[in-house]
Chain A
Amino acid sequence: MSAPGTLPRWAELGLLPVINLVAALLISGVVIMLLGESPVAAFKLMAAGSVGTQEGIGYTLYYATNFIFTGLAVAVAYHAGLFNIGAEGQAYIGGLGTALVCLWLGAWPFWAVLPLAVLAGAGFGAVWAFIPAYLQAKRGSHIVITTIMFNFIAASLMTYLLVNVLIKPGQQSPESREFSVNAWMPSATDVLARVGVGFAATPLNLAFGFALGAAVLVWLLVWRTRWGYALRVAGENPAAAVFAGIAPPRVIIGAMLLSGALAGGLGLNELMGSQHRILMDFPSGAGFVGIAVALMGRNHPAGIIVAAVLFGALYQGGSQLSFDMPKINRDMVVVIQGLVILLCGAMENVFKAPLAKLWHGCLARDPKPTGGTPAPR
């Protein structure tokens, strides 16, 4: 019996997110109108600022790179049945690993620094995820609680390190010295210039490629390997995993190590690619945006890339908006982002039932449409 309330797969994956996004933008438009600005003009500004120019595109993809890393981190944990709220802290500590390599081995050639920086970032991120994972797997401490706590511990630890250890001597702001140029991730401008394409100077850098590569890797691991199969079985039905001889504790630890390692990729983009030093609070919430990105992208790498670019565009378009429309400040932009997260993430199924009804209404030749048919439970 096909339950009413089901949609074809393409509509669920393609149409529903678009409807959610449009709804979020409509509500945002009302908010902008209440502030006395024209919504149409505001959205035009946002679109132009995020995808209308080379600079805009560069910034959008630069932000998206962070979100891809953290979105993948959340998604991998999700498939193992874990809600990893700690991507923020894992990215923070992972960045520390990358920065230490870049600071100490900055004199080495780039091709030698890069793999070490990648490994250190992934390794530090994984270690930070390991502790909550171990506590969940062996002690049953809930991973949501422990990963939240580990965000705070990471922040305090990094504040201590930046203020007392890593700070550049004789300087007020808590940040390290600049990395040597050998440890800079090549910018998109330089990379494209090599193949003869001109591109505006933006923070977009090679780390974007690493993020796309990570997405492919996650897809392969989760859907094409025996390990990924075990991971998904344990995530969907832990009892069936035990029945199959898969040990859920091992899956939990393995999934969280990978999750932390992916979050650790953020340092490649933010530190090696853009800031060229380590500074306070450089993840700036990307770990939390990653949750929304994973939700909206349905925890699938392809969806995560699309969602990450959308959120990158919101970030970039939002800063453009607050710059050009003084009545709409930074906080209003956060409100708009919040509405998108609310409608595309938390309330993603609000339009599903009406849409399904509409769908079945068009197909079924119902002689007597009864209107308020109660949905079966």
Chain B
Amino acid sequence: MSDDARSATAPGRNSGGAAGAARAPALELRAIDKRFGAVQANRAISFSVAAGSIHGLIGENGAGKSTLMNIIYGFHRADSGEILVHGRKVDITSPQAAIAAGIGMVHQHFMLVENFTVLENVVLGVEGGALLAGGLTAARRELEKLARDYGLAVPLDSMISELSVGLQQRVEILKALYRGAEILILDEPTAVLAPQEADQLFKMLGRLREQGKAVILGTHKLREIMAITDRVTVMRQGAVVAEVMTKETSPRGLAEKMVGRAVLMQVDKCPATPGAALLSVTDLEVRDRLGVPRVKGVSFELRAGEIVGVAGVAGNGQSELLEALAGIRAPSRGEIRLGGRELVREQLDARARRALGLAHVPEDRLRLGVVASFSAEANAMLGYHDRPRYGRGLFLDGVASFAGCEAKMKEFDVRPAQPALRISAFSGGNQQKLVLAREIDADPTVLLVGQPTRGVDIGAIEFIHRRLIALRDAGKALLVVSVELDEILGLADRILVMNGGEIMGELARAEATEEKIGLMMAGVRGEGGA
């Protein structure tokens, strides 16, 4: 706790200065500028974060949040501007320098060695000598103390690969604290977490705040900003557009500042009028590569003109269910009926299922939905390249695929509307719009959608939700899998809740509440349970 003592006494030593009356903020940024080639990623960014507070940094994807956080942590260097830690100017040239200045960072993608234990990961780089044993014993004592102080219990001798994502994140936080971090930066920390795990994270951050740490939380989720932060800085196009006390603002106000225009938080829709069952699933079981069942005897129906939402903590079989329905993963048991055919016994692959009118917007866009190194044009026909419209006989028709992509980009407002541009150069939201455009364009009768708005910014979320509801109103059947409860509640007409590979219950939208769904997600069987 010597660091705490130092930060507490620092203002006293500086009392001769002009700002002597106030306690110096833990971190202060002054006019940070950063340019990548022609792109101004950060423009005159200034704000300060007090010790013992949580500071939100919110903005759409590409607003410059990550660049700014990477500058604070020394991955990038600012072109100009100053960084002050506890009132003293510091020159952060590298992550090592940042750590020395008491700054720690938890990245969106963890930087852990999978086949090392927690303890080994924490001491990695600060082993304290050539021999491991002494350092490890000292680290174990220190970590047990940290775990007690902050409620950060982690099994120190477990392999990282055995831990859940939430626990892995905890290890990253411990790593930063072990290195003496007084200022903790988190970049989109909940992107990989289930709602419950996110709540636990927030509790932990609350405890860090009580202990006098300064926390910077970079996110594009308004809910998180409102739930946990004290102050919030809103960024748009590389610049700060607002800095406010969280108490004095509202989600709607923040959203408007982020996007630069008014946004609808909830898409209006009329009640569903479900028709005939288009897709029916009976006793479906899906096993993973090791033979462990991930979906255990699931049965449900999907009717024309309704959106069925699948809620659940990530990793409870939703992904496997979706992949089995789409023809990417072979189920070990059960039936899937679509348009008079039985897809499992007939072993129809994704292409054959598309021909029957089953389209799929995958959960993991970059792994399944697009080929990152291909142009938007080539991606706009993925899964449909065999269709007559894209060519004649063996040959592809470049004019047709270009025109097809242009039309989709126009209809779905994909920006920039350049079919020849690599798909990886588009933002997540625009990639998702193009994938959605591609699957809807084929006029499917059943559309499977996994995480419709994962990594998508607010303006695009609203657009995507509208399109999905329009599709429902056109008499299609939609299955939407999402870990965002808000999204399920906003879109679905009927909600299935999964836990441990089983459907715990079914709720009509009218009777669904966050509490009811939350209980089922935790494994309590509802009355409508299968």
Q: Measuring CB to CB, which residues of chain A are less than 8 angstroms from any residue of chain B?
A: 1-4, 6, 224-230, 232-233, 236-237, 239-240, 242-247, 360, 363-364, 366-368, 370, 373-374, 376-377
From B373, B378, B395, contact of A224 by CB (8 A): B395
Q: What's the Cα separation between A144 and B330 when bound, in Å? A: 29
Q: A236-B374, A360-B37, A367-B79 are in contact. Are A226 and B352 (CB under 8 A)?
A: no
B372 at the interface (CB under 8 A from A): yes
Contact bitstring B80-118, A, C-beta under 8 A = 1, else 0: 100000000000001000000000000000000000000
In the complex, chain B residues whose CB is within 8 Å of the CB of A233: 371, 374, 382
Q: Which residues of A contact B212 (CB under 8 A)?
A: none
Pick the contact of B350: A224, A242, A373, A377 (CB < 8 A).
A242
* Residue from B35, B70, B360, B394 in contact with A243 in the complex, judged by beta carbons closer than 8 Å: B360
User: How far apart are the CA atoms of A229 and B79 in the complex, in Å?
Assistant: 43
Q: A229-B396, A240-B382, A374-B94 given as contacts; is B80 within 8 A of A367 (CB)?
A: yes
Q: How far in angstroms is the closest Cβ of chain B from A227?
A: 7
B41 touches A1 (CB 8 A): yes
Chain B interface (Cβ < 8 Å from any Cβ of A): 35-39, 41, 62, 67, 70, 75-77, 79-80, 94, 326-328, 349-354, 360, 362, 367-374, 378, 381-383, 385-386, 390-391, 394-396, 398
Determine whether the beta carbon of A237 is less than 8 Å from that of B372.
yes
Q: Using Cβ atoms and an 8 Å threshold, which residues of chain B touch A377? A: 75
Q: How far is the CB of A169 from chain B (nearest CB, A)?
A: 48
Cβ of B327 and Cβ of A240 under 8 Å apart?
A: no
Chain B residues within an 8 Å CB radius of A230: 385
Give bound CA distance, A275 to B67, whole Å: 63
Listed from nearest, the 4 A-B pairs whose CB atoms lie closest are: A245-B351, A245-B350, A244-B383, A243-B368
Query: In the assembled complex, which residues on chain A have CB atoms less than 8 Å from the CB atom of B76?
Result: 373-374, 376
B391 to chain A, nearest CB (A): 6
CA distance A364 to B390 in the complex (A): 41
Is the Cβ of B369 less than 8 Å from the Cβ of A376?
Answer: no
Question: In chain A, what residue has the closest Cβ to B425?
Answer: A2
Q: Which residues of A contact B39 (CB under 8 A)?
A: 1-2
**For B77, B371, B372, B396, which residue has the most chain A Cβ atoms within 10 angstroms?**
B371
Cβ-defined partner of A226 (8 Å) among B35, B374, B395 = B395
Q: Please give the distance in Å from B406's CB to the nearest CB on chain A.
A: 18
The listed residue (A236, A239, A243, A367) touching B383 by CB distance below 8 A is: A243
Residues of B with C-beta under 8 A to A366 = 35, 79
15 contacts between A and B (CB under 8 A): A1-B39, A1-B67, A2-B37, A226-B390, A232-B371, A239-B367, A243-B368, A243-B382, A244-B351, A244-B382, A245-B349, A245-B351, A246-B351, A368-B79, A374-B76
Beta-carbon contact of A243 and B369 below 8 Å: yes
Residues of A within 8 A of B367 (CB): 237, 239-240
A244-B382, A370-B77 known, 12 other contacts, Cβ within 8 Å: A1-B39, A1-B41, A2-B36, A2-B37, A233-B382, A237-B367, A237-B371, A239-B367, A240-B370, A242-B349, A246-B351, A374-B77
A232 to B371, CA, bound (A): 9
Which residue in chain A gives the minimum CB-CB distance to B348?
A245
> Is the CB–CB distance between B77 and A376 below 8 Å?
no
If A224-B396, A240-B382, A245-B349 touch, does A368 touch B80 (CB 8 Å cutoff)?
yes
Q: How far is the CA of A373 from the CA of B398 in the complex (A)?
A: 42
Closest chain B CB from A120 CB (angstroms): 25
Report the separation of the CA atoms of residues A363 and B395 in the bound assembly, to the nearest whole angstrom: 41
A300 → chain B closest CB, angstroms: 14
- A373 and B79 CA atoms in complex are apart in Å by 10
- Within the complex, what minimum Cβ distance (angstroms) separates A189 from chain B? 38
Complex Cα distance, B373 from A209, in Å, reads 33
B328 and A243 contacting across the interface, CB-CB below 8 Å? yes
- Give the distance to chain B from A240, nearest Cβ to Cβ, in Å: 5
Q: Which residues of B contact A247 (CB under 8 A)?
A: 349
Cα distance A237–B70 in the bound complex, in angstroms: 29
**Bound-state Cα–Cα, A218 to B94, Å:** 48
* A370 contact from B36, B79, B378, Cβ within 8 A: B79
Residue among B37, B38, B370, B381 facing the most chain A CB atoms (10 A cut-off) = B37
Complex-state Cα separation, A232 to B381, whole angstroms: 13
Residue of A nearest to B70 (CB): A376
Contact A226–B391 (Cβ < 8 Å):
yes
Chain B residues in 8 Å Cβ range of A1: 36, 39, 41, 62, 67
* CB closest residue in chain B, given A230: B385
Whole-angstrom distance between the alpha carbons of A364 and B327 in the complex? 49
Given A225-B396, A239-B367, A240-B369, answer yes or no on A374-B391 (Cβ-Cβ < 8 Å): no
**B36 touching A244, Cβ below 8 Å:** no
Which residues in A have their C-beta under 8 angstroms from that of B353?
A: 245
Chain B residues, Cβ within 8 Å of A225: 394-396
- Beyond A224-B396, A226-B394, A245-B383, whether A364 also contacts B37 by CB under 8 A is yes
